Every structure is written in structure tokens, then in C-alpha cells.
Amino acid sequence: MQSSKTALDEIKEFLLCETPEEWVKAATEHQDILLIDHANCEKKAASSAMQLIHRYSENYNLLQKMSRLVREEMRHFEQVTAIMKKRKINYIYVSASRYASELRKLVRKGETTQLVDLLIIGAFIEARSCERFSKIAPWLDEALGNFYQKLLRSEGRHYQDYLKLAYEAGETKDVEDRVLLIAEAERKLIESPDSEFRFHSGLPF
């Protein structure tokens, strides 16, 4: 298994941009929203993996990796909500960010092409989460910073799992082309102004 540092280096090469410092500043100023949306992201990640399990039940490698991912994401959800309870942060409703929904607009129709795109998008979501954990951790209090540092390894592995599954599902050239296209869309979402602060939001207004 790769170390978190090696996985993080790989992720920084995979992503076309780093998280802007403006987002990091906003995250330190809105830690309640950061944690609430982080909890939501863990739930959504588990739900997305479950959807893949239901839709592609003949793909045994996918089933094994996604089953493990579901368990880990829900464990992270439990950990984040425990932190929220300890810090007396109410689990209020916050709207979803544009990030995942905009990326999913790029998903093609067709059994194989749809799977390839969903897996690549999953890789980008996990990669950006990992990169943001590393960005924000040094600016948080010791307990929360250490928690985010510990998440780096699993999030890095999730990114690798999604990307490997994409290459297994599709033709190499097609996967490479789709990675480039989705990477550019992901970069624009991260670097363009965003009306609300969320875990995967872009530049704060």
C-alpha cells in the first residue's frame, strides 16, 4: 500500500489545480458548515457507491471495492458527526454544492461509457477531498487537523480504486480522453466564483 504522502503527490499531479487559498480562509471561518457539508459528502459517497453496486452487480471487482468504500465512508460519517456533537454543532440542512452535479452532467449514455464516466468522476471527487484535507489540516485546531490528516490515506486509496476500475471498464484511450475532459471541468469549478461555501465549492464571492 502506498503511503499517504505518495498518494497525495499522485493526486496533486492528477488534479489540474490546487485549492485556492481563498477557499482555505473561508473554511477556517466557517468550520460549522465545513463539518456539516463534510458529513453530507460522506453520506453521498456511500450512496453513490451503493448505486454502482446495484447497477453493475456482474462486476465482481467493482462490488468488492465499492462495498469496502461504503463501509469506510459511513465510518467517516460517524466520526464527523461525533465531532459535530462534541463541538455542539447542530446537524442543520445545508444545500448541496454545484460540484458533483455539474460534473455528472458530463456523464455519457451507454452501459460502458456511463460506467467509465461515473468512475472517473468518483476519482476526481475523492482526489479533491484528499487534497482539501491536506490543505485545511494545518489551519485547524490540533484535534480536527489530526483527524483530517488521518483521512488522507483512505481518501487517496478511494481515488486510486475508482481510477483503476475506470481503466478496467473502458478502453485506455477513451479513459485517458475522458480524464482530461473531466479534469478541465473540475478545474473550472474549483477556480470560478461560487455563491456558497461548501466542502467542494469554488472561489468565495
pLDDT value of position 153: 75
DSSP calls for 110-158: SHHHHHHHHHHHHHHHHHHHHHHHHHHGGGS-HHHHHHHHHHHHHHHHH
pLDDT value of position 8: 87
Q: Residues 201, 23: contact at Cβ < 8 Å?
A: yes
Q: How far is CA 120 from CA 32, 97, 100, 145, 159, in A?
A: 30, 19, 12, 28, 9
Measuring CA to CA, which residue among 15, 38, 156 is closest to residue 89? 38
pLDDT in tens, the chain (205 residues): 344 456 889 999 999 999 999 999 999 999 999 999 999 999 999 999 999 999 999 999 999 999 999 999 999 999 999 999 999 999 999 999 999 999 999 999 998 999 999 999 999 999 999 999 999 999 999 999 999 999 887 778 899 999 999 999 999 999 999 999 999 999 999 999 999 999 999 999 7
CATH of domain 4-199: 1.20.1260.10
| Residue 105: strand, helix, or coil | coil
Instruction: Report the C-alpha gap between 38 and 173 in whole angstroms.
Output: 34
Domain residue extents for the chain: 4-199
Q: How far is CA 37 from CA 41, 84, 143, 183, 185, in A?
A: 6, 11, 19, 23, 22
